[in-house]
Chain A
Amino acid sequence: MPDSRPLTEFDFELLSAYIDGQLSDSERQLIETRLADEPSLSAALDDSRATVALIKLLPPTQAPRNYTLTPQMVSARSQPAHRVVPFAKTSVFSALSTAAAVVLLVIGVSFLTQSSDQENANVAMLATSITAQPFEEAQSNARAANTALAAPAEPTRPISATNIAEVDSLALTDAAQLIAPTQTQIAAIAEQAAAESLAAGSAMQALAAPTMTEGLLFSTESEGTLSPDLFLMPPLGDAAPDDAGSVQDQVEGAGGGTDNENAFESAPSIAQSAAMTETPTTTPSSTATSTKTMTPTVAPTQTRPPQVAPLSTDDTTRTAGLVLIGVAIVLFTVAGVTTWKRRSSARQ
């Protein structure tokens, strides 16, 4: 039964508009049909009409006085230019804030970029120091040893092993391969070192330098082409991925007196393992690789490399960059809020 349906807000809205003649033809026909069928709707219409009639009984309010304008009123209110606007609310402030924000943003980003470049440089220096250090220690060990051709003991684990160092160690195996054919030269240098420690040190350093250079170049060149196998060396190659420390250990073994020859004899086997792992991805001949890369570059270890590059300056630069970018964002926000407030007040 249609009459049982309770009236809704929409029903009252239709009735209100119906009283004022604001319904469309279709809406009016619909409400009139319902009014005929629904007594409650019809009663609500009567109530609404009575309410509107009561409200219309209210006479328009009379103004308590005249509001005619005087020239003073108009002139006093028509000079908004005399208003004192705080500088922080002006468009000049917004423009200056935005300009300052852009400048700070550019400087901050350049700081971060410099920081990134510096970081890359530090990584290279770190790699250099890691690869160079064992040779310097080997040099001193060689000075201590009279016979440098003793065989090494079982290869021992390196002192430190990082991924970078592992990659570089592959280059060092190439270096070892290079060293192997010149065993007699090294022996002679080592013997000379026993007599003239400083001279021998220079000679060893000179010998080690190209291999380190090659190591750096190799690690850079082959970084993208090395297969995962390189990082999963077979037992034979265990000595190879041992970073430069393995060579150091082997030379240290020479200090033991009994295994000195093996220390250098192991060099070819290390080189072989390097060649085995390197062949599928790089050149077929590791010697070719060595000769190609070792010649042109000045050895970085001619001057003593830093042990670990200090990062404090880098951190400061990065922090300064981040702070500048943060300040720039704050200035952007302030400029935006100021502009928004100014426009919204102008709208009013």
Chain B
Amino acid sequence: MSISENEQALIQQARRGDAPALDAFNVLVLRYQDSVYSLSVRIMIDPASADDVTQTAFITAYQRLDTYQGGSFKAWLLKIAANQAYDELRRRKRRPSVSVDELPGADSDDGAPLPDAADTPEQISEANELQRAIRSCIDRLTPDYRAVLVMCDVDAFDYTTTAETLGIALGTVKSRLSRARSNVRDCLRGVPELLPMQFRLKDNGKIS
């Protein structure tokens, strides 16, 4: 039985709603929780919020399993997680507990990332400074651009799946991805010493 066939069987089993159904669904949770959390933390930045979003996304997915109509189950799960994350960001904007300028991605055009003492334990534990720099550059994007970049370049989804998952047009995926890449490129130019020789960026190709 292929993974896809196995996945569909688990979904059918999970739809029954009894105790074994929950077990079947938990197999799917374990399979996709990294991807769901990855997208959540890229949108939310804050690991605690991402943790909340991830858990809520799986609960919502289980309760709405009847609305799954085939296709990539992973993309369906990510769509639910992305919606949960955006809803949470909207709620925070309506009732901001901090300044709007301090919201994630509010300063996407800032310069190179500096060592940040306020980094999360997960980020501090990153051995590779380059990865930290890249993460920091991505985190400075606005949530909309960040989600597209993570789905296309980190999770390697194609444009169509990304558009369907995030509920945006294909052209929007293209333009957001292009701009997100340009912003990350400009951001990484600020830390040339961290970049490997083969990835050294030239100081040209600026957008007019």
Contacts and interface: CB of A to CB of B under 8 A. Distances in A.
Given A60-B34, A71-B22, A44 B178 contact: no
B198 to A, nearest CB: 8
Interface string A61-78: 111111111110110011
Contact of A55 (B51, B138, B175): B138
B102 interface: no
A1 interface: no
Interface stretch (B2-10, B53-61, B93-101, B111-119): B53-61
A54 B192 CA distance: 12
Contacts of A17: 174, 178
A47 B37 contact: no
A77 B87 CA distance: 17
Interface in B159-205: 159, 174-175, 177-179, 181-182, 184-185, 188, 195, 198-202, 204-205
A25 interface: no
Interface stretch (A7-15, A129-137, A281-289): A7-15
Nearest to B84: A348
Interface size class of A (residues with CB under 8 A): 35 or more
A55 B130 contact: no
Contacts of B41: 61
A262 B39 CA distance: 108
Interface residues of B, number: 58
A8 B208 contact: yes
A92 B79 CA distance: 33
A36 interface: no
Nearest to A65: B51
Instruction: Specify which of A9, A40, A50, A78 lies most central, judged by the most chain B CB atoms within 10 Å of its CB.
Output: A50
Contacts, number: 143
A258 interface: no
A321 to B, nearest CB: 40
A221 interface: no
Given A13-B175, A67-B33, A58 B58 contact: no
B72 interface: no
B62 interface: yes
B154 A58 contact: yes
A52 B177 CA distance: 10
A224 interface: no
Nearest to A15: B178
Interface string A11-27: 01101110010100000
A346 to B, nearest CB: 13
B205 to A, nearest CB: 3
B37 A77 contact: no
A149 to B, nearest CB: 92
A51 interface: yes
B194 to A, nearest CB: 10
A43 interface: yes
B154 A7 contact: no
A118 interface: no
Identify the 10 closest CB pairs spanning chains A and B, nearest first.
Answer: A44-B205, A6-B208, A16-B178, A61-B38, A63-B37, A51-B185, A13-B178, A68-B26, A63-B33, A55-B153
15 contacts: A8-B208, A16-B181, A22-B174, A43-B205, A47-B185, A50-B198, A55-B184, A60-B154, A63-B34, A65-B51, A66-B30, A67-B36, A67-B37, A68-B30, A73-B59
Interface of A: 6-9, 12-13, 15-17, 20, 22, 40, 43-44, 46-48, 50-71, 73-74, 77-78, 348
